[in-house]
């Protein structure tokens, strides 16, 4: 386990169109201490590649931690394997709804 202030090293795998758009299928990252959960990881990745940050926005991807689907609050530890899977088969900018589709209503 890392000492306080030390970074965590994780392996990030990209799926579907993300390897082409991010120019890599996977990468090993040393995360700062403040990146402790899935939500902060996605924010970190967005800031790394501001020109392509929308590709890993929380509403555009599903994240796995050690091959288990994760929630935004799921903790990330040193040595974890993180999978980033797009929720749409094609990249999307903005939240336009395709013709004929309805956004789900909240009850």
Q: Global pTM?
A: 0.77
pLDDT at position 93, please? Answer: 59
Kindly indicate the confidence band of residue 74, based on its pLDDT and cuts at 50, 70 and 90: very high
pLDDT top residue among 19 and 2: 19
The pLDDT tens digits of the residues spanning 49-68 come to 878 888 899 999 999 999 99
* Residues forming a β-bridge with 31: 8
Q: Mind giving me the DSSP string for 48-91? A: HTGGGGGGG-TTTEEEEETTEE--TT-B--TT-EEEEEESSSS-
pLDDT top residue among 53 and 78: 78
Answer whether residue 97 shows pLDDT above 50. Answer: no
């Amino acid at each position: 386990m890392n000492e306080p202030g030390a970074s965590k090293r994780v392996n990030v795998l990209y799926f579907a169109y993300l390897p082409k758009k991010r120019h890599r299928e996977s990468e090993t990252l040393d995360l700062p201490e403040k990146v402790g959960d899935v939500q902060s990881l996605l924010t970190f990745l967005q800031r790394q590649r501001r020109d392509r940050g929308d590709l890993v926005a929380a509403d555009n991807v599903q994240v796995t931690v050690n091959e288990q689907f994760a929630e935004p609050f799921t903790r990330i530890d040193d040595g974890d394997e993180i999978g980033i899977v797009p929720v749409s088969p094609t990249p999307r900018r903005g939240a336009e709804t395709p013709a004929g589709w309805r956004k789900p209503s909240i009850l």
